[in-house]
């Protein structure tokens, strides 16, 4: 590229809230973030392990007075302070349950919605119960646990009794026909 080319900044990253950084391209594969360029040009080369950060948390404010070389921890602290941190910024779960103290469970550094957890548990129990339910239409009895029966004990007894009556009827008819 030549020095007369005008650098047209663009938003780096695919953040749909446009919270990414302004970047300029200095040729193919040479994208630089504007704030990093400003710091490098007017402050000093990037110290090892440091990141170019914005004092006010606004990625589009690339004035030198707003920029500094900070650590990864600085970046996290700033992000929380400026309310752009992914978690700190959300107050509701995807199902619109409030992330308040009694509804939030922390697990491996992540937040989980207790209400959603309870609903998931209830659905799982319901599904399990449906599987254990007698297959006779309208019968709400549970099948005996631990076997692959389709019907509950009482429906099975009814079916057995019906079979027994039918068998007795058959043999009664057989005798009636053959003993003439």
- Provide the binding-site residues for Zn ion, judged by CB under 5 A: 93, 95, 97, 113, 115-116, 134, 136, 139, 141, 152, 155
Residues 6 or more apart whose Cβ sits within 8 Å of residue 24: 7, 8, 9, 10, 31, 32, 34, 37
Closer residue to Zn ion (CB): 71 or 135: 135
Closer residue to Zn ion (CB): 81 or 160: 160
Q: What is the DSSP string of 106-158?
A: EETTEEEEHHHHHHHHHHHHHHHHHHHB-SSTT--PBPPTTS--SS-HHHHHH
* Nearest distance in Å: CB 165, Zn ion: 19
* Nearest distance in Å: CB 92, Zn ion: 8
Closer residue to Zn ion (CB): 24 or 149: 149
* Nearest distance in Å: CB 16, Zn ion: 22
* Nearest distance in Å: CB 112, Zn ion: 9
Distances (CA, A) of 109 to 59, 88, 93, 104, 167: 26, 12, 16, 12, 67
Closer residue to Zn ion (CB): 34 or 134: 134
């Amino acid at each position: 590229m030549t020095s007369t080319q005008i650098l047209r900044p663009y938003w780096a990253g695919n953040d749909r809230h446009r919270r990414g950084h302004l970047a300029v391209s200095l040729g193919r594969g040479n994208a630089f973030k504007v704030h990093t360029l400003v710091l490098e040009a007017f402050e000093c080369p990037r110290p090892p392990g440091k990141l170019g950060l914005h004092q006010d948390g606004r990625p589009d404010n690339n004035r030198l007075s707003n920029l500094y070389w900070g650590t990864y921890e600085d970046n996290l602290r700033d992000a929380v302070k400026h309310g752009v941190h992914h978690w700190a910024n959300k107050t509701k779960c995807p199902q619109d349950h409030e992330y308040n103290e009694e509804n939030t469970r922390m697990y491996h550094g992540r937040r989980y919605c207790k209400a959603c957890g309870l609903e998931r548990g209830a659905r799982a129990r319901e599904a399990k119960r449906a599987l254990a339910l007698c297959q006779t239409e309208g019968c709400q009895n549970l099948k005996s646990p631990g076997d692959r029966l389709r019907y509950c004990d009482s429906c099975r007894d009814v079916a057995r009794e019906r079979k027994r009556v039918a068998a007795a009827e058959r043999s009664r008819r057989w005798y009636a026909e053959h003993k003439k």
